[in-house]
Amino acid sequence: MTATLEVSGLSKTYGSGEQAVHAVRDVSFATEPGEFVAIVGPSGSGKTTLLAMIGGLLTPTHGSIRVRGRDIAHLRGRQQAEYRRRSVGYVFQANNLLPFLTARENLMVVNAIGRGSRRAASARARQLLEELGLASRAGALATQLSGGEKQRVAIGRALMNNPELVLVDEPTASLDSQRGRQVVESLISEVKGRDKLGIMVTHDMEMALLADRILEMHDGELHQRARGA
Ligand X SMILES: Nc1ncnc2c1ncn2[C@@H]1O[C@H](COP(=O)(O)OP(=O)(O)O)[C@@H](O)[C@H]1O
Degrees (nearest 5) of the Cα angle 63, 170, 177? 150
Residue 117 binding result from ligand X, Mg ion, none, given CB thresholds of 5 to 8 Å by partner type: none
Q: If binding is defined by CB under 6 A, does position 14 make contact with ligand X?
A: yes
Instruction: Establish if 21 lies at the interface with ligand X (CB under 6 A).
Output: yes
Number of residues this chain uses to bind ligand X (CB under 6 A): 12
Nearer to ligand X, 41 or 60 (CB): 41
Residue 202 in the binding site for ligand X (CB under 6 A): no
Residue 95 within binding range of Mg ion, rule CB under 5 A: no
> To the nearest whole angstrom, how small is the minimum distance from the Cβ of residue 112 to ligand X?
30
Question: Does position 172 bind Mg ion by CB under 5 A?
Answer: no
Q: How far is the CB of 96 from ligand X (least distance, A)?
A: 16
Question: Could you say which residues in the range 43-62 bind Mg ion, by CB under 5 A?
Answer: 48
Q: Output the 3-class SS for the chain.
A: CCCCEEEEEEEEEECCHHHCEEEEEEEEEECCCCCEEEEECCCCCCHHHHHHHHCCCCCCCEEEEEECCEECCCCCHHHHHHHHHHHEEEECCCCCCCCCCEHHHHHHHHHHHCCCCHHHHHHHHHHHHHHCCCHHHCCCEHHHCCHHHHHHHHHHHHHCCCCCEEEEECHHHHCCHHHHHHHHHHHHHHHHHCCCEEEEECCCHHHHCCCCEEEEEECCEEEECCCCC
Site string for ligand X, 22-61 (x = CB under 6 A): -x-----------------x-xxxxxxx------------
Smallest distance, ligand X to C-beta of residue 200, A: 13
At closest approach, how far in Å is the CB of 12 from Mg ion?
A: 13
137 binds, among ligand X, Mg ion, none (CB under 5 to 8 A by kind): none
Q: Which residues would be at the binding site for ligand X (CB under 6 A)?
A: 14-15, 21, 23, 41, 43-49
